[in-house]
Structure formats: structure tokens, C-alpha cells
Amino acid sequence: MNRRSKRTNPESELYRALLTLRTPEECFAFLTDLCTANELKAMEQRYEVARLLENGRIYSDILTETGASSATISRVNRSLNDYGTGAYRTVFARLEEQSGKAEGGE
């Protein structure tokens, strides 16, 4: 089990609430109300770092492109490859699938 989940409640209504959002705009609005600007910016940065790592980019390029610290890049890399839940890859695969459908792939 991911050690971070011991400090949170996976049964929280928050996660069901996120699933009710239908558009990126609704999601942005909800997260803007829920999080501070710095929290939201940090989540966006971590996601971007994960996406770049998944695409084979190297630390120095990611550092330059995102402004993330090497500690953040390392932590995201560990979540992506070592102790994470696999959720990054689930999201990447689903976005890729949606992209293919949008381009007429299916």
C-alpha cells in the first residue's frame, strides 16, 4: 500500500465529487476553489514532470522546461516507477485513448 494513503481517506466524498465534473473548465473551477494557487500550481507542475518523465525526457531538460526542483523531479519519478499506485500511467493511457478517438482512431 502506498504510505501516503495512510494519512488520507480514500473513501472521502471528495473523490466522488471529482468524478462528477464533466469538463476541464469545471475541474479547474472546482480545484481553484478547493486549493490555494500554490497548491494547484504544484500539482500542475508534478503532473507535467510525470508526463515528461514518461516520455523519456531527462532530469536536466525537465528542470529547465518546468522549473521543478531536482527533488520534485526525483519524487515524481519514484511515484511513477517505484512506490506509486500506477495512477499516472492509467491517466496517460486514458488520455492517449481519448486522443486517438478524437483523431478518428476508433
Domain 10-102 has CATH 1.20.950.20: no
Smallest Cα–Cα separation from 4: which of 46, 32, 38, 37?
46
pTM value is 0.84
Sequence-distant (≥ 6) Cβ neighbours of residue 46 within 8 angstroms: 68, 72, 76
In the chain, where the domains are located: 10-102
Q: Each residue of 8-45: pLDDT tens digit? A: 888 899 999 999 999 999 999 999 999 999 999 999 99
Q: Each residue of 49-89: pLDDT tens digit? A: 999 999 999 999 999 999 999 999 999 999 999 999 999 99
